[in-house]
Amino acid sequence: MSPVSAPQRIALCLQYDGGHFCGWQRQRGQVSVQETLDQAIGALDPLPKHLAQELGRSRSFAAGRTDAGVHAAAQVLHFDAYGPIPAERWAAALNGRLPASIRVRASVAAPAGWHACFSANYRRYRYTIYNGRRPNLFLSPYSWHRYSCRLGEEPMALALEGLLGLHDFSAFQRAGSSRPHGRTTVQEVGLWREGDLISLEIQASGFLYGMVRLLVGQLVAIGEGRLSPADFERRWRQQRRDEVKESAPPQGLCLLRVGYPESLFPEGAWYDCQPRYRLEISDPPPEI
Which residues are known to be catalytic?
Answer: 67
- Smallest Cα–Cα separation from 11: which of 87, 68, 73? 87
Question: What does the alpha-carbon distance between residue 227 and residue 220 come to, in Å, rounded to a whole number?
Answer: 9
User: Residue 30: CB partners within 8 Å, gap ≥ 6?
Assistant: 22
State the CB neighbour count (10 A cutoff) for residue 180.
Answer: 6
Cβ contact 200:274 at 8 Å: no
Q: Is 183 helix (H, G, I), strand (E, B) or coil?
A: strand
Query: How far from chain centre, in Å, is Cα 201?
Result: 11
H or E segment and range at residue 184: strand 183-194
Asked if 118 and 76 touch (Cβ cutoff 8 Å), the reply is no
Pairing relation of β-strands 8-16 and 197-204? unpaired
Residue 191: helix, strand or coil by DSSP? strand
Contact (CB, 8 A) for 144 and 129: yes
Our CA angle for 30, 105, 266, nearest 5°, is 145
